[in-house]
Each structure stands twice: as structure tokens, then as C-alpha cells.
Amino acid sequence: MSVRKLKPITPGQRFRVVNGYDAITTDKPEKSLLVPNKRSGGRNNRGKMTMRYIGGGHKKKYRIIDFKRDKAGIPAEVASIQYDPNRTAFIALLNYQDGEKRYIIAQNGLQVGQTVVSGKEGIAPEIGNAMPLGEMPLGTIVSCVELRPGQGAIMARSAGAFAQLIARDGKFATIKLPSGEIRYILTTCMATVGVVSNSDHQLLVGGKAGRTRWLGRRPRTRPVVMNPVDHPMGGGEGKSSGGHPRSRNGIPAKGYRTRARNKASNKYIVERRKK
């Protein structure tokens, strides 16, 4: 994977850094795995705006991703690596031997023609293969990790993300997550071997405000320029500071802990994430 810095032939391209898309092998998605994706504009089912700074953006269809990897023991060939407008990572189209097609999150190094398989027993810990944490060797770099068995992958799914299996004790495995948090997860939870693809995503630069609008994000008003009636940090003459950083509802930001002290999952967290 690589990135390209464009020549400044227009003002919008002066600082533009684009993805080289070296890993992409086709630009045509699998039609049977596409579904409509209607934009909400930040409104709920009553038309009330509940999320600000959302609206506009290019039309796109959702790609149905197999996060559960529950097709056990049936090998699949990687047909193509594709771009997905709904996520930062690339996706891979799998052709199973029984004729079914599915999308999965692509890992770094996954090649067209490669065979991947998922299951509970006898699966080699190779890139793209999915298996329970209890079947992997210690130290394995994984991604697309389940939090509860059968739930489907919900952790380490974005571009360049990965977790590491560092220990096992009884029915629990100890995982170091991308945030730096170390926690216990049941060994029956599934995970995929390898780092999520498109690790260069963090290097991209939009170059102009319009590109952000194409992604569906509207301009965000800074709290310090609001009036006191609109935000706790608003008001004042000229460029006065807004006081202590806090949210619109008055909850302090930057260091104030909002996690419940008696949360049930606290006992599974070995070490909190680094600040």
C-alpha cells in the first residue's frame, strides 16, 4: 500500500494526499451483497435532529459483511479486494466451494487466489483465517474480535487496527486491544488472524472542505464562538477563552471519567487504556 501527494495544480489539491489503492483489484462490487443505505441527515424516526453536523454526502450502498465467520470448515477463495465507502478498511470477496459469496474485512497481505477458512479445529493461524481465541498460539496478531461468542466481530475492525493475544487462563484469554486496554475475553470468541488492511488511511489528507461534505459531514461550530445560551463555553467579549472544557450539557471533558464505577464488565478489564 502507498499514498500519493498530488501536485498543487488547484488550491484544493495543494495539500491533498490520496491513497494509491495498490491493493484494490476491482471497482465493481458484488450486486447480490448490496443493499440500499438511506441517509438520516442526523434525524430520528420523527424527523427530529438528534445528531448535529450530519447531512449531505454522496449516495452509497451498503456492502453486507460477514462479521461472524460462521461458515465453518468450508474453504473459500479470495476473488477480489475492494473499496468500501462505509468503512476505512478494504473488504475481500470470498467464493466458497459450495458456491456462496460473502464479503469479509480484508487483512494486510491477503491476496487474490488465496484460500481462507474459518472453524474451531485444525485451522492454521494464517492471515485471513478465523478461529476461536482458544485455538490460536500466544502472541498472535488478530483483528475483527468478538466480545461475546456468536455476536460477530466488533473490535479491531478499522483500517490498520489489530489486537494481540497475550495470555490464556482457563476459559478466558487476555487480549491487548488497539486502545492499549488489556482485558479478558472468552476463549470461545472468534477472531481473524492478521492486521486490518489499508493501514495508510491515517496519512490521507482531504485538502479542502468540500471533500468532507462529500463524506456527509457538515461544518462544526466551535463552542467558544457560541453564545452563553447555546453552550457553557460560549460568550465573552472578543477572543476570550471559554473556561473549562466541557460538553454542551456541562459534563467536563479532557480527563473527567464518565464510566460507571459499578459497571458489570469492570472485572474483565485488567488494565485501562492509556490516556
From first to last of the 275 residues of the chain, give the pLDDT tens digit.
Answer: 689 999 999 999 999 999 999 999 999 999 999 999 999 999 999 999 999 999 999 999 999 999 999 999 999 999 999 999 999 999 999 999 999 999 999 999 999 999 999 999 889 999 999 999 999 999 999 999 999 999 999 999 999 999 999 999 999 999 999 999 999 999 999 999 999 999 999 999 999 999 999 999 999 999 999 999 999 999 999 888 888 999 999 999 998 989 999 999 999 999 998 87
Q: Is 87 exposed, middle or buried (0-12, 13-18, 19+ CB in 10 A)?
A: middle
Q: Are 170 and 77 in the same domain?
A: yes
Looking at the structure, tell me whether residues 125 and 71 fall in a common domain: yes
Nearest Cα to Cα of residue 187 among 245, 145, 143, 241:
145
pLDDT at 1: 65
Task: Tell me, yes or no, whether 49 and 169 share the same domain.
Answer: yes
Is position 231 within any domain? yes
One domain for residues 119 and 46: yes
Whether residues 164 and 251 share a domain: the answer is no
Question: What total of structural domains would you count in the chain?
Answer: 2
CB distance 92 to 104 below 8 Å = yes
Is 273 contained in some domain? no
Q: Phi/psi class of residue 36: alpha, beta or left (left: φ > 0; alpha: ψ in -120 to 50)?
A: beta
Hunting for cell 475483527 — which residue is that? 144
Q: What is the pLDDT of residue 242?
A: 83
Q: Is 257 helix (H, G, I), strand (E, B) or coil?
A: coil
Whether 274 is covered by a domain: the verdict is: no
**Same-domain check for residues 51 and 133:** yes
- On the CB side of 156, CA atoms within 13 Å amount to 27
Query: Do residues 132 and 114 make contact, with C-beta atoms less than 8 angstroms apart?
Result: no
**Alpha-carbon span 19 to 7, nearest angstrom:** 14
Distance CA 181, CA 111 (A): 31
Same domain, 126 and 259: no
Q: Is residue 210 a part of any domain in this protein?
A: no
For residue 47, how far is the Cα from the chain centroid? 28
My answer on whether 58 and 160 are in the same domain is yes
The total number of residues written for the chain in this structure: 275
Whether residues 72 and 133 fall in one domain: yes
Between CA 102 and CA 93 the distance in angstroms is 6
Domain that holds residue 41: 3-202
The verdict on residue 222 lying in a domain is: no
pLDDT of residue 268: 96
Of the candidates 156, 185, 202, which is a domain's last residue? 202
Q: Tell me the CA distances in angstroms from 78 to 27, 94, 124, one per residue in order.
A: 15, 5, 17
pLDDT at 95: 97
Any domain includes 216? no
- Among the candidates 202, 237, 257, a domain finishes at 202
**Could you tell me the three cell numbers for 55?**
447531512
Strand partners, 182: 176, 271
Do 238 and 103 sit in the same domain of this protein? no
Contact 135, 191 (CB under 8 A): no
Verify that 145 and 238 share a domain, yes or no.
Answer: no
Q: Output the pTM of the full model.
A: 0.92
Contact status, residue 190 vs residue 134, Cβ threshold 8 Å: no
Residues 138, 251, single domain; the answer is no
